[in-house]
Amino acid sequence: MKKFISVKDLPSIEKAIETAFEIKKNPYGFQHLGKNKTMVLVFFNSSLRTRLSTQKAAMNMGMNTMVLNVTEDSWQLESEMGVVMDGKNAEHLREAIPVIGRYCDVIGVRAFAKFEDKEADYSERILTQFVDYAGVPVVSMEGATRHPLQSYADLVTIEEYKKVDRPKVVLTWAPHPRALPQAVANSFVEWMRETDYELVVTHPEGYELAPEFMGDVKVEYDQKKAFEGADFVYAKNWASYTHYGQILSKDFGWTVDEAKMALTNEAKFMHCLPVRRNVVVTDGVIDSPNSIVVEEAYNRQVTAQAVLKMILEG
Ligand code: CP
């Protein structure tokens, strides 16, 4: 595997699941693959889970790691081509990326949507330049439109907890005080479409995800109806795609609560974290035995390691 930007970069979904369970059983069994190799993790945005889980995954694989926080540690980097660089940005990605690539064997990059320019976000302007200029494999630690390391962990978590071969999985929009990117939701839909699970997406009108991610996935605008018989409820906020980056609703009627979870087939509750308690989900739901958010977060380490294994094996 030469890069990990989307589910399409995997050899197959079956191989991805198999590799994750292989790592889970034997986390320190593949250190020879990473001996004398280095991973650089480049963060344009904040992180808790991605930073720690990816770094730990690389260490478990026997690799050395270096972290670059672009907003704090480094020169401010320009991403637009052809600009006159007489502003705050001191260095262009066009030089910075191949230089970083010379110091390491794998680069991880986190670069969120900025909501300034839909075309720049949906063409993955920063991530694409890393892939094009790094000279080494690149792993997305969340781009503008996808969060594949998260979706991979979500998939493995569902595989671990599912009680039927074809579970009903519901992705529900939930309120949030800030405008958040569509990346987690886009990516979750993209990965679930690679399985044979029953997937239902529910959100208020105006929050439709980009058609290239949704395909023919069913949208149910009635959240309670969507929850009926669900085996997994995955909550996430995202800002509008059509009214790009705007908050159209902060309706707490969409908060995931005990009454809605009672409509499900004793569904497991999932969220990528961080989560706003009593906004996205009530304390009663996230603290219940059916909440699997911590195991889901642990699987970020497992699946990051699985990605590195597939990359290091070439
Ligand atoms: N889920 C996730 O990516 O968490 P962080 O933003 O803390 O890395």
303 marked as part of a ligand binding site:
no
Backbone angles phi, psi at 160, to 5 degrees: -70, -35
Which atom of ligand 1 sits closest to the CA of residue 48?
Answer: 7
The correct CATH number of 150-293 out of 2.60.40.1930, 1.10.287.3510, 3.40.50.1370, 3.10.20.310 is 3.40.50.1370
CA distance 229 to 183: 26
What is the model's pLDDT at position 73? 78
pLDDT digits (tens, 9 = 90+) for 44-80: 999 999 999 999 999 999 999 999 999 777 899 999 9
Which CA distances in Å does 38 have to 58, 64, 200?
Answer: 8, 5, 40
Q: Calculate mean pLDDT across residues 136-165.
A: 98
> What residue segments make up the domains of the chain, in order of their start?
3-146+298-313, 150-293
What is the model's pLDDT at position 72? 77
Distance 17 CA to ligand 1 centre (A): 21
- Looking at per-residue pLDDT, the higher value among 185 and 218 belongs to 185
Residue to mutate, 141, 295, 300, 301, ligand 1, most ligand atoms under 8 Å from C-beta: 300
48 marked as part of a ligand binding site:
yes
Cβ atoms of 136 and 105 closer than 8 Å: yes
Cβ atoms of 208 and 243 closer than 8 Å: no
**3-146+298-313 shares its CATH topology with 150-293:** yes
What is the model's pLDDT at position 74? 86
Query: Confidence band (pLDDT; 50, 70, 90) for 35?
Result: very high
Average predicted confidence (pLDDT) for the chain: 97
49 marked as part of a ligand binding site:
yes
What is the model's pLDDT at position 71? 79
Ligand 1 pocket (Cβ < 6 Å) reads 47-50, 142, 150, 272-274
Which atom of ligand 1 sits closest to the CA of residue 147?
Answer: 3
What is the model's pLDDT at position 210? 98
Residue to mutate, 41, 45, 46, 49, ligand 1, most ligand atoms under 8 Å from C-beta: 49
Distance 119 CA to ligand 1 centre (A): 24
What is the model's pLDDT at position 303? 98
> Measuring from atom 3 of ligand 1, which residue has the nearest CA?
50
Residue to mutate, 42, 43, 46, 50, ligand 1, most ligand atoms under 8 Å from C-beta: 50
Distance 152 CA to ligand 1 centre (A): 13
CATH superfamily of 3-146+298-313: Aspartate/ornithine carbamoyltransferase (3.40.50.1370)
What is the model's pLDDT at position 113? 98
> Measuring from atom 7 of ligand 1, which residue has the nearest CA?
48
What is the model's pLDDT at position 10? 97
146 marked as part of a ligand binding site:
no
Percent over 70 (pLDDT), the chain: 100
Query: Confidence band (pLDDT; 50, 70, 90) for 218?
Result: confident
Query: What ipTM was reported for this prediction?
Result: 0.99
Residue to mutate, 273, 280, 293, ligand 1, most ligand atoms under 8 Å from C-beta: 273
Query: Confidence band (pLDDT; 50, 70, 90) for 108?
Result: very high
Distance 41 CA to ligand 1 centre (A): 14
pLDDT digits (tens, 9 = 90+) for 265-305: 999 999 999 999 999 999 999 999 999 999 999 999 999 99
